[in-house]
Amino acid sequence: MPVVRIDFPRFSKMVGAEREKIIDRLPYVGLDIESVERNSVRVEYSPNRPDFGTDFGIARAMKGLLGKETGLPKFPAKPSGISVTVDRRLSGVRPFIACATATGLRLDDEDVRQLISLQEDLHNGLGRKRRAVAIGLHDMDAIKPPLSYKAVGPSFRFRPLDSKREVTVVSILKDLPEGRAYRGALSGARVYPVIVDSKGTVLSFPPIINGAATRVTTKTRSMFIDVTSMDGRAGDDVLAIVSTTLAEAGSRLGTVHVKYTDGSRVTPDLAPTKMRADLGLVKSTLGMNLTTKEIISSLRKSRLDVKGGRALVPRYRIDILHPVDIAEEVALGYGFDRLKPDYPASRQPGAFNDFENFLDSASTVMAESGMIEMMTFELTDAPSLYSKFSRPSSERLAVMDPKSIDHSVLRDNLLPTLMASLSGNVKSDYPQRVYEVGRVYGREKGGVSESWQLGCLIAHAQASFSEAKMYVESACRLLSGKEANAHESTHWAFSPGRCAEVSVAGSHLGHVGEVKPESIEAFGLGVPVSGFELNLSKLFELLK
Amino acid sequence: MSSSLHPIEQRILKALRETPTMRLEDIVGKTGLQVDQVRRALEWLSTKGYVTLTRSAKSKLEYGGLPPEVKVVQLVEGTPPPIPLSDLRANFGSDQEFSAALGRARSRGWIVTETGPGGLTSVRRGSEDSLSSLKEIRGLLDHVSSNAPISERERELLPDLVNRGFVKAVEQSDVAVAVTSKGLGEVPESGASEALDRLTPEILASGAWKGRSLRPLDVEAKAPVFHPGRRHPVRDFIKEVRETYISMGFTELEGDSIHPGFWNFDALFIPQDHPSRDMQDTFYLEGLADRKLTRTGTVANVAATHENGWKTGSKGWGYTWRIEEARRLVLRTHNTVLSVKALSESREKETRVFAVSKVYRNENLDYKHLAEFHQMDGIIVGEGLNVRHLMGFLTEFYKKLGMSSVKLWPTYFPYTEPSLEVIGFSEAVNAWIELSGSGVFRPEVTIPLGVKVPVLAWGPGIERLMMMRFGLDDMRALYGADLSWLRERRELAGS
């Protein structure tokens, strides 16, 4: 989750509260405290609240909660006189653009740091790594309006940020780190989007990189903001968050006229959104018989308001989708710590799942036989499953893009992971007798089958077929009340001539045998190993 | 023989009956007991007046190691010349130690070093007459290590070796033991009926044990190490959690690990481009999809809810929902998938279900992350349920699992509203730690499934609680298959 750093002296001034009070209340705004220092605290915020991406946004919410400033924050915006014309050829590439201006800025280093961090978080979150939405911040004094958002060919050149010379858009995609990181957003495009002013100065090559000419510094007094996107709503959401944050940072907002071929609009639109204020839903969700007055005052503490039976939601609150979200805002404003827990007594008895109980008994039977239970991972490595038993891997069930090849294939049997466990314990006392009750996977009719297995291995100088057979027979007898039968058979884990199929009541359940010496060697073991595998799902079916 | 005597005391008195005065060491040799056992028993016997102890102190010299200058000569003597200097170096711990040894041996004339035409320094033994001082030192060390008397000349060489720790002067106390007549009275005359080594079925049948005692054993000696069979601690903890749920009126669910993304994500109102659905975070099965899933019935309701809110009163996420994405098979990322499926199948107005089972995340393994771990998800469905009931349940649930102090903080999940995070105080790490996410299912989740009453839901992991209980600081230790830990871990009862 994204993180914001809150500096206490700075934040105390913003919200009018001291360090201890701030630390105590941050969780009740919905923020997770990651670490606390003497002069600062780092908090994690959920991606549904991108308006918490700066200390400005957090202060806005905190002031409401502390009752210092409640109700809807106001964001007046005057026309900036700037217009942007959109090239229709961008409709299949990156169709939407929304812009705003912010003037009268006096940014210090910390302000700039907070804004950059917000931009990063928005790019990664709502922006889906800039694929869906990308933001450009520019020094407005370097721009000569009107602007155009237009399509250019691969050989179009300009000087990108942090570059000494002009380069073509294609070489930016190929050679610059930003190009390589984000070019996926433009894959398949035959034209490329750029934002240029009336003199041809390039502001941005979205969503890749800004131009060098309009770079923002602490000296920037007026800012131009562009937000390009694949989806109009997402772009407007992001622009609302960025521009209202700049307003909190002390700037005056200005609107921009965006002209599409088939119509035009003025951005940003920061009018509050409306959501039905369902008082009945509020009361039933919170289990509190709150008065209308209490509900309204709680909503105002959450920086919302109520008008004509509707909740007014500030435009930057993009997470409010349903009247139930209004109920939560009431709870937040009221304070979750003021809600009294109420244990809901059960009117019915509980019930164990029979199969889970059966699996648990299988484990008990084995432990009482003197064995140690292992719990290994279901995702394992292909060599342990296949090559160490010299069997083909054609039926393997692999997961896509695993972070580690040690956990990349679903096991079809417990014997391989148990062998791997033994090989990690060669320094422990022998005899070693281990078992596992675990899930295994197989392919079935174009899909996947899952079942539960009991696996067991015995490793010591005298480990033998008959010892393993003794254990599997006692397990079958104790779990099913029936005698197990053994028939000569073969299995990839066991030596020929030292392997039998185990069945109960005519149903084949698994194999018992002596592990073949090439596998003992492949797992780095130095003692004989015997064991068995038994299908517990099938055994359970037999008992029903 | 008096029964008030310990078997060890009896053995010592028996030895003293044959030889009335002995040194402590002789008693050890004769009885085969440990020195400490004998010393302890003699103290008791002396207190009871069965023996008298006479202590005298004497000083003894002990060999403490070969002086490095002697070691150098020894190495030179054992190697055919010419011996490159560098060959000798390997026998010493440090360059410093080696050059000190060389210096001493050379100044005494025991070795001679010379540099050949190639610049290579070699070593050979000194001439016979310069070796007399070496012989004296070797003689002294021999005498010390064999406990033989040392000569006047050798005594002069001692201070240097003692200072450098190659000879140690040890103070030793000598104990002479004499049995008293009272002690002798405690020991039976030899020739009495012989003690039995052990009982056998034959001896029991014949009654031959009557009037005979069993030979005393060294009952303090170590027995062989035994490793009993044991269930895995995670299984025991799961059992405890299951019992806790059952005691609170819950019905247990069990089900598959692999599901189409639809049940793991879409049905929980998690949008299809949500980062948690990335391959970076979720395990998708290579080349497998649930082709039977079609946009009809519940699936159609869920799809419309994502797109525009359908009949749920929501705005929806506002994107074009795709069946292909919903069909991809995933290893479940939470067990809520089981509760949601159960909900959609039963549509019960009032129920409580839970599942304790594995969930899977595409993570790099480290001390607090695993790719497979257990969760103990549950839901309560019922008319009139609200967030305070959720708070009440979670407080009670964690109290039963041994967490005395629990806080509930607002948080966010795509499928619950309100959402609460459960924080518990861990005495082990002296800090508040995250225990569980929880919340009331959003109407966008319940209405498409045909559920018309509130649903309270939570999805806690179990590993953190277990780590606290076992005092582990690395989650991997739970599944490390470390036989010595699984065999020897302390048995822990609840909490």
pLDDT given for residue B193 in this prediction: 59
| A70 within domain boundaries | no
Measured CA angle at B281 (ends B279, B282), to 5 deg: 65
> Mind listing the pLDDT tens digit for each residue in B396-423?
999 999 888 899 999 999 999 999 999 9
CB-CB: which of A343, A399, A437 is closest to B285? A399
Retrieve residue A328's tokens.
């939560």
Retrieve residue A429's tokens.
């006392």
**CB-based contact (8 Å) between B194 and chain A?**
no
CB contact under 8 A, B280 and A401: yes
| A349 within domain boundaries | no
> Mind listing the pLDDT tens digit for each residue in B60-97?
788 888 888 888 888 888 777 778 777 787 788 788 88
ipTM higher than 0.85? yes
The span from the CA of B436 to the CA of B369, in Å, is: 15
Contacts of A276 in chain B (CB under 8 A): 313
| A72 within domain boundaries | no
> Mind listing the pLDDT tens digit for each residue in A217-269?
888 999 999 999 999 999 999 999 999 999 999 999 999 999 999 999 999 99
Boundary of a domain, candidates A307, A338, A369: A338
Residue A52: pLDDT band (50, 70, 90) is very high
Q: What is the CATH number of the domain that holds A120?
A: 3.50.40.10
> Mind listing the pLDDT tens digit for each residue in A313-355?
999 999 999 999 999 999 999 999 999 999 999 988 999 999 9
CB contact under 8 A, B309 and A343: no
Contacts of A369 in chain B (CB under 8 A): 229
Residue A39 above 80 pLDDT? yes
Residue B358 above 50 pLDDT? yes
Same-domain check for residues A388 and A251: no
Boundary of a domain, candidates A218, A234, A267: A267
pLDDT given for residue B4 in this prediction: 65
B176 vs A425, residue with greater confidence? A425
Q: What is the CATH number of the domain that holds A503?
A: 3.30.930.10
CB contact under 8 A, B285 and A397: yes
Range of the domain at A486: 354-543
CB contact under 8 A, B275 and A47: yes
Same-domain check for residues A228 and A96: yes
- Quickly count helices (H) and strands (E) in chain A: 16, 28
Contacts of B314 in chain A (CB under 8 A): 321-322
Burial of residue B297 (CB within 10 Å: 0-12, 13-18, 19+) is exposed
CB-CB: which of A332, A369, A432 is closest to B410? A332
Same-domain check for residues A465 and A529: yes
Mutating which of B361, B387, B399, B491 best tests the A interface, going by the most A Cβ atoms within 10 A?
A: B387
Same-domain check for residues A257 and A277: no
Q: What is the CATH number of the domain that holds A299?
A: 3.30.56.10
**CB-based contact (8 Å) between B215 and chain A?**
no
> What does the mean pLDDT of chain A come to?
95
Contacts of B247 in chain A (CB under 8 A): 350
Q: What distance, in Å, lies between the first and last C-alpha atoms of chain A?
A: 48
> Mind listing the pLDDT tens digit for each residue in B268-323?
999 998 888 988 899 999 999 999 999 999 999 999 999 999 999 999 999 999 99
Residue B107: pLDDT band (50, 70, 90) is confident
B82 cis-preceded (ω within 30 degrees of 0): yes
Residue A159 above 80 pLDDT? yes
Give the chain B residue whose CA is nearest to the CA of A375. Answer: B479
Same-domain check for residues A103 and A240: yes
Same-domain check for residues A98 and A43: no
Contacts of A425 (CB under 8 A, 6+ apart): A432, B481, B482, B483, B484
Report how many domains make up chain A.
4
Residue B34 above 90 pLDDT? no
How far is A221 from chain B, CA to nearest CA, in Å? 36
CB contact under 8 A, B234 and A375: yes
Pick from B308, B344, B304: which is nearest to B326 by CA? B304
CB contact under 8 A, A375 and B417: no
| A345 within domain boundaries | no
How far is B335 from chain A, CA to nearest CA, in Å? 15
Q: Where do the domains of chain B lie, and which CATH numbers do they carry?
A: 7-57+172-206 (1.10.10.10), 68-165 (1.10.10.10), 235-488 (3.30.930.10)
Q: In what order do the strands lie in the sheet with A507-515?
A: A372-373, A432-444, A447-459, A529-535, A507-515, A494-504, A484-488
Same-domain check for residues A263 and A278: no
CB contact under 8 A, B273 and A128: yes
Same-domain check for residues A117 and A30: no
Contacts of A325 in chain B (CB under 8 A): 417
The percent of residues above 90 in pLDDT, for chain B, comes to 43
Based on its alpha-carbon atoms, the radius of gyration of chain A, rounded to whole angstroms, reads 33
> Mind listing the pLDDT tens digit for each residue in A113-137?
999 999 999 999 999 999 999 999 9
| A71 within domain boundaries | no
| A55 within domain boundaries | yes
Give the chain A residue whose CA is nearest to the CA of B351. Answer: A348
Q: Which residues pair with A450 in a beta bridge?
A: A441
Same-domain check for residues A294 and A209: no
pLDDT given for residue B188 in this prediction: 63
CB contact under 8 A, B391 and A339: yes
CB-CB: which of B248, B385, B482 is closest to A346? B248
Same-domain check for residues A36 and A121: no
Please report the DSSP string for B279-312 in residue order.
TTTS-EEEEEE-TT--SSHHHHHHHHHHHH-TTT
Give the chain B residue whose CA is nearest to the CA of A333. Answer: B410
pLDDT given for residue B17 in this prediction: 83
CB-CB: which of B229, B284, B358 is closest to A368? B229
Distances (CA, A) of A157 to A140, A170, A200, A501: 22, 9, 11, 73
| A344 within domain boundaries | no
**CB-based contact (8 Å) between B286 and chain A?**
yes
pLDDT given for residue B85 in this prediction: 78
Give the chain B residue whose CA is nearest to the CA of A370. Answer: B229
Same-domain check for residues A173 and A233: yes
The span from the CA of A328 to the CA of A332, in Å, is: 6
CB contact under 8 A, A233 and B384: no
pLDDT given for residue B495 in this prediction: 42
B30 vs A198, residue with greater confidence? A198
Mean pLDDT lowest for which of A380-389, B115-124, B258-267? B115-124
Same-domain check for residues A100 and A32: no
Mutating which of A36, A321, A347 best tests the B interface, going by the most B Cβ atoms within 10 A?
A: A321
| A348 within domain boundaries | no
CB contact under 8 A, A27 and B410: yes
Distances (CA, A) of B445 to A323, B13, B304: 14, 86, 12
